[in-house]
Structure 1
Amino acid sequence: MPELPEVAALTGFLADSLVGRRIGRVQPVAVSVLKTYDPPLTALEGRTVTAAARHGKFLDLSADDLHLVIHLARAGWLQWRENLPAAPPRPGKGPLALRLHLAEPEGTGFDLTEAGTQKRLAVHVVRDPADVPGIARLGPDPLDAAFTRERFAGLLGEERRQIKGVLRDQSVIAGIGNAYSDEILHVARMSPFKLAASLTEDETTRLYEALGSTLREAVERSRGLAEGKLKAEKKSGLRVHGRTGEACPVCGDTIREVSFHDSSLQYCPTCQTGGKPLADRRMSRLLK
């Protein structure tokens, strides 16, 4: 899933590639992709892209007084194309969800694609980004100057949930998903199952600093990269997420996993849980 650093890089890439250029055609392919109908998608055609912005994990392309807002969800991606076919795409079972042609040069634009069977990629055409429900309920951006340690502590003090879930909750903090929450907790040397409201002052400071440094470093690594290189960059920069069975780059212990019905988390027992493996119900059932 694209998270804050990848969406920030995509925003920069689209700002360089689209601002000042006129939209030719916008063609929805997947029935599920378009979430708004007024203004219609065709209202974008002929308008000039004036800005690209990010709201949490949402991409926002301004076209005069309208906004094309994109949420790539779990398996969506944006692919820049210099040779889009002129013929309209045919709906089918493939990954293509939406195609945007620029007016010129001919064939230039991008495809929105989504792998898998769960179609969650979402496109909105709105007059104000706040009209998108997912944006309206976003919490503060963790890279904003106003996101201070004191504000962070205030958010955690209201939570009686495990810290992993709090970091991923977009209504609490915008932009962090499964991968970077694992990375942040590893840097902070903290168990993902620790209750947010139970953190000491020192733990809160450590987590706040880990959050900022992890995200800023990931943003810097991705800055200036074309969209086609962002997935590989993200994967190469992850130290624990997606690396079950590998050695922790800090202490050398084996990275372990806890699986849920639709996701998993990775952590280092030595760095994060005092050497104790966390309970994994799925593995416990397999061992019976």
Structure 2
Amino acid sequence: MPELPEVEALAHHLREHAVGHQVARVDQASMSALKTFDPPLSALAGRPVTGAARYGKFLAMECDGPHLITHLSRAGWLRWHDTASTVPPKPTGKGPIALRVHLDEPGGPGFDLTEAGTQKRLAVYVVNDPAEVPGIARLGPDALTLSRADLEKILAKRTERIKNLITEQGVIAGIGNAYSDEILHVAKLSPYAVAGRLDEAKLDALYEAMHQVLSDAVKRSVGQDAARLKGEKRSGMRVHARTGLPCPVCGDTIREVSFADRSFQYCPTCQTGGKPLADRRLSRLVR
């Protein structure tokens, strides 16, 4: 799933390539992806692109008028093209293309919003104000602008596991499964640590790791060709999706905890005092 660094890089890509161009046409290929009806997609036609922004994990193309906002969900992506077919994709929703944006003229430069797999969760909104998107309206403070004092207030008295809490977008915006694994590894925190029980030293470690991991990932990603961002994300990971490989810090074997539709990775030596986490649903630290 694209998270804060990748979405920030995609916003940068749009600022570099789309700003100053005019929307010529928008083709809808997935009827389920569009979550709004007023303004219609056609309201974007003829509008100059004035900017691009990120709201948590939401990506916005800003126009002189309505904005086009998308949440790429788990398997969505933005694919830039210099030329495209002038024939609109069939609105069956079965192919990878959910939406195609033509700039300057039909068939000119622009981008596709695509989604792999059969579970179609990518969401598109056409709104006059980003706050009209329910998911944006509910966002907590952005992970990269959060202060140490704000983080302490957020975690105080919370009984959730820290892994779950920092990925809740209404609490802290921008962090997902992959970067939460990386942040907790750098901070040397167990994914199952109770958020409200972190002492000052652990709070400091979490705050510093959050900014270090996300800032470094943004620096690596911004300026990359959009097609290469996924590979860049994978290559920069220390523990996430590296089950069975040695930890780059201590050499211990990276382990995994699996759930119905997701998993997370961690290093026992660095994060849980050498104790493995039971790999089953509702697992708890083996004591």
Range class of TM-score, shorter chain: over 0.9
**Deviations along 1:176-198, whole A, 9 cap, x unmatched?**
00000000000000100111011
Residue equivalent to 2:39: 39
Residue equivalent to 1:125: 126
- 1:281 alignment partner, SS class: coil
Stretches of structure 1 lacking an aligned partner (at least 5 in a row): none
Provide the C-alpha distance between the structure 1 equivalents of 2:69 and 2:157, rounded to a whole number of angstroms. 31
Structure 1 residue 213: Cα displacement: 0.4
Q: After superposition, where does 1:198-213 map in structure 2 within 5 Å? A: 198-213=197-212
Number of corresponding residues: 282
Residue equivalent to 1:281: 280
Provide the C-alpha distance between the structure 2 equivalents of 1:2 and 1:136, rounded to a whole number of angstroms. 20
Residue equivalent to 1:5: 5
The answer to whether the aligner puts 1:174 opposite 2:141 as a matched pair is: no
- 2:179 alignment partner, SS class: helix
Report the TM-score, using the length of structure 2 for normalisation.
0.96
Contact 2:86 2:106 in 1 (8 A): no
Residue equivalent to 2:69: 69
Q: After superposition, where does 1:116-155 map in structure 2 within 5 Å? A: 116-144=117-145, 147-155=146-154
Question: In the alignment, residue 255 of structure 1 is paired with which amino acid?
Answer: I
Question: In the alignment, residue 131 of structure 2 is paired with which amino acid?
Answer: A
Question: In the alignment, residue 130 of structure 2 is paired with which amino acid?
Answer: P
Provide the C-alpha distance between the structure 1 equivalents of 2:87 and 2:193, rounded to a whole number of angstroms. 54
Stretches of structure 2 lacking an aligned partner (at least 5 in a row): none
- 1:53 alignment partner, SS class: strand
Provide the C-alpha distance between the structure 2 equivalents of 1:106 and 1:259, rounded to a whole number of angstroms. 44
Residue equivalent to 2:97: 96
Report the TM-score, using the length of structure 1 for normalisation.
0.95
Structure 1 residue 231: Cα displacement: 0.4
Q: After superposition, where does 1:173-192 map in structure 2 within 5 Å? A: 173-192=172-191
Provide the C-alpha distance between the structure 1 equivalents of 2:40 and 2:107, rounded to a whole number of angstroms. 23
Structure 1 residue 117: Cα displacement: 1.4
> Any runs of at least 4 consecutive aligned residues in structure 1 with deviations exceeding 4 A, and if so which?
none
Provide the C-alpha distance between the structure 2 equivalents of 1:263 and 1:159, rounded to a whole number of angstroms. 23
Residue equivalent to 1:83: 83
Question: In the alignment, residue 29 of structure 1 is paired with which amino acid?
Answer: A
Provide the C-alpha distance between the structure 2 equivalents of 1:89 and 1:202, rounded to a whole number of angstroms. 54
Provide the C-alpha distance between the structure 1 equivalents of 2:49 and 2:76, rounded to a whole number of angstroms. 22
Structure 1 residue 82: Cα displacement: 1.5
Report sequence identity in percent.
62
- 2:10 alignment partner, SS class: helix
Provide the C-alpha distance between the structure 2 equivalents of 1:119 and 1:163, rounded to a whole number of angstroms. 29
Residue equivalent to 2:24: 24
